[in-house]
Amino acid sequence: MSRRLALAEGESARTACARVLLRNGAEEKTGVWVSPGVLAMRVGWCAELVSGMTAALLAEHWNSVDVALLASGVDTGGRRLPSNAWMALRRLGWTSSAPEGVRVNDRILRMAQEQAGRQLRSAHWRAKVTAGVLATWPGDPLKRTAEEWDAVRGAVPDGRHLPSSVIKSRTRQIATYLRANGRLPADVFELEDVPRVVGMLLLAACDRQQATIERSESDPRRAVLRLQLPTRPLPRSYADWTWVACPITLPPTVLASAVLHLPTLRLAGGRVQADMAYTHAVPTTSPTGHTVALGVDWGLNTLLSAGATRLHPDGRISALGSGAQFRAAGVLAKQHRLRRLSEHLHTKADHHQRLIATNAQHELTGKHTVLRDEIRHVSKRRSNLNDALAWAAARWVVDQAIAARASVIYLEDLRSLEARGMGRTLNTRLSQQVRGRIADHIRHLAAEVGIAMVTVPAKNTSKHCPHCLTPLRHRKAPDQPTIPGWKWAACPNPECGWQGDRDQGAWRRIAARGLTHQSKTVTDRANGQMTIPTVVDKLEATAVITPSAIQSRRTDRSKTGPTRRRTTRPAPRRRRAPSPAWLTRPAGQRPEGPAPTDRHRLPRAAHRHQNGTTISTPTRQHRPRAAALGAGFHLHAHVTPPRWETIPATTPDRGSLS
């Protein structure tokens, strides 16, 4: 099959990855069917050989001199090193060999060199960050001053846009080493041990003599992966290696026109997982020339707030609708509970470890093993929950952009956010949100449909009015204008008078800032990410949302007749006609809603006021008796008010609370 991807005008190539399972295989020479368990065992034998050689290479070259030489991109003779890690290591003469008495081909050595080379190249960035933190070591590691933050950001690579959490975590790591040894480490190689090697097979470093992959001609959804696997743990000769053909069912995300590449194999839960890389054509995105944009703002329980804006030819910017919100309070609460459970298990396991010490026959050894298994189980649950939340939030954002026909998504850049000053619990919840993973998923999904994703500075997006840039006054709720808070914002400018949800105003500011700063968009050559690094005051002055015109009712509502007599029997406001209290005929009766129609009288809760109200959170304990009796929403349901309802001293463009 051809490895070249045909591109049309306005298209670009994009490489993505899909996870598939290798369920079984077949011996090509004998035709014997290989079961899933046997296939996982043979892949594990091969992965152990590769991981052993990789660990030896890392231990030999885990020092600052060798890592700097590899990261420089040139060898000792001044020649440029190849981009493939295994070829670069061979150019430098860094080789490894199989254990004595074990026979492997050269492609197995390539996979070991490729994995070791990637680990050593990634260590170079950590070494530069650690060196910058050590060179500007603060007087108080727990709290840097503003001058110390400027100094450390100037010393580390790309420190201006580096998240503060990275610098703080590296500082805590160095402080722990200082308390244990009484001195600062020389570099990251003294601070960190040799990385642990994960058992996996990087088939991308191989050629057709070790592995091949071909798509089925009859069914594009199927492919066949052929690879050589050992028949014993320590193969003594080439006869102990045989070809195994593994059928693969490709997921729907892999298009029929995509070009498949050799995957990476790893073991997970006794099964073989394959990270299938493929290249396909996507529409080309542009950093400029956008007229419709989607602005996205971050929150805590309301994780994302988004809305679309349009840039008119005369330079005006108008909002398209009142926006929407992605609420994840339930998922985040569960994530918070799992985090507290994990901390409790870690504390208990550490206490047992101190009691056990070096005594392998201690009576707490069994309990300690159970705790470690439970910690791994909880960690896996947290990881799966975070991954599901990130994909759901990213899919929601891209769907909003597609529905609004936006060509760009402007996302608030919170990489430098420092969660402090909000209490211990809230700081922890803010610092452990999966914002980085959501941003990566948004960038991936948006590129699939030709939508650009640009990060914009977050400065003053929630502080200033989106219509006149006046500093807003924040309150707890619209019905409590005198109580300080942060959720509800009101513009003090009498000529503007805008007020609404804080997040609803923030996404307007983000989208307007992105549209006016299109010419300042910068694309990173290394990863292709687009960002607006700084805010220009001249352009920021034009980043305002033009208020929509007030639409008056055209229908004449003057009284033309006598008032209709109302029934003395009250009914729920969700329905203006009372339902019969008793079933008198087999059919033709108006249903009563959630309440059964065979009751003699309506339930007491049905006589209550059933309209949703937008109020602040009640302080007293609430018992939802109405909901328990089957009358629908109870009195304190927090829902969006009707569109025709007005709040005193407000303008129609106030944003949604849903």
What is the structure's pLDDT at 621?
52
Q: Read off the pLDDT band of 559 (50, 70, 90).
A: confident
Inter-CA distances, 327 with 179, 302, 304, Å: 43, 4, 7
What is the structure's pLDDT at 651?
42
Beta-sheet strand order (sheet of 211-215): 33-34, 25-27, 241-249, 222-230, 211-215
Q: If we measure between CA atoms, which residue out of 1, 56, 489, 420 comes closest to residue 214? A: 1
The DSSP code for 405 is: T
Tens digits of residue pLDDT in 350-375: 999 999 888 888 888 889 999 999 99
Residue 653 pLDDT exceeds 50: no
Q: Tokens 């439970």 sit at which residue?
A: 374
For 615, half-sphere exposure in the C-beta direction (CA atoms, 13 angstrom radius) is 9
Tens digits of residue pLDDT in 573-595: 555 555 555 555 555 555 545 54
Structure tokens at 361: 């026959």
Sign of the alpha-carbon dihedral angle for 125, 128, 129, 130:
positive
Tens digits of residue pLDDT in 253-264: 898 889 999 999
Give yes or no for a contact between 14 and 279, defined as CB atoms under 8 angstroms apart. Answer: yes
Tens digits of residue pLDDT in 40-53: 999 999 999 999 99
Q: If we measure between CA atoms, which residue out of 532, 518, 511, 449 comes closest to residue 321? A: 511
- The C-alpha atoms of residue 306 and residue 287 are separated, in whole angstroms, by 20
- The C-alpha atoms of residue 120 and residue 379 are separated, in whole angstroms, by 27
Inter-CA distances, 160 with 91, 148, 152, 291, Å: 35, 13, 9, 30
Q: If we measure between CA atoms, which residue out of 326, 322, 370, 273 comes closest to residue 19? A: 273
Residue 178 pLDDT exceeds 50: yes
* Amino acid making up residue 413: D
Residue 276 pLDDT exceeds 60: yes
Q: What is the largest CA-CA distance in the chain?
A: 105
Tens digits of residue pLDDT in 600-630: 554 444 444 444 334 444 555 545 444 444 4
Query: Is beta strand 271-283 parallel, antiparallel or unpaired with respect to 408-413?
Result: unpaired
* Amino acid making up residue 481: P
Structure tokens at 471: 């500093």
More confident position, 433 or 461: 461
Give yes or no for a contact between 130 and 174, defined as CB atoms under 8 angstroms apart. Answer: yes
Residue 309 in 3-state DSSP? strand
* Amino acid making up residue 386: N
Q: If we measure between CA atoms, which residue out of 46, 52, 92 comes closest to residue 72? A: 92
Q: Read off the pLDDT band of 635 (50, 70, 90).
A: very low
Q: Where are the domains of the chain?
A: 11-47+199-283, 50-191, 292-540, 571-584+591-658
Sign of the alpha-carbon dihedral angle for 227, 230, 235, 236:
negative
The pTM of this model reads 0.75
Using CA atoms of 534, 536, 542, 544 in order, give the dihedral in degrees to the nearest 10. 30
End-to-end Cα separation, the chain, in angstroms? 52
Tens digits of residue pLDDT in 52-82: 999 999 999 999 999 999 999 998 888 999 9
CB within 8 Å of 384: residues ≥ 6 apart: none
Give yes or no for a contact between 248 and 24, defined as CB atoms under 8 angstroms apart. Answer: no
More confident position, 568 or 263: 263
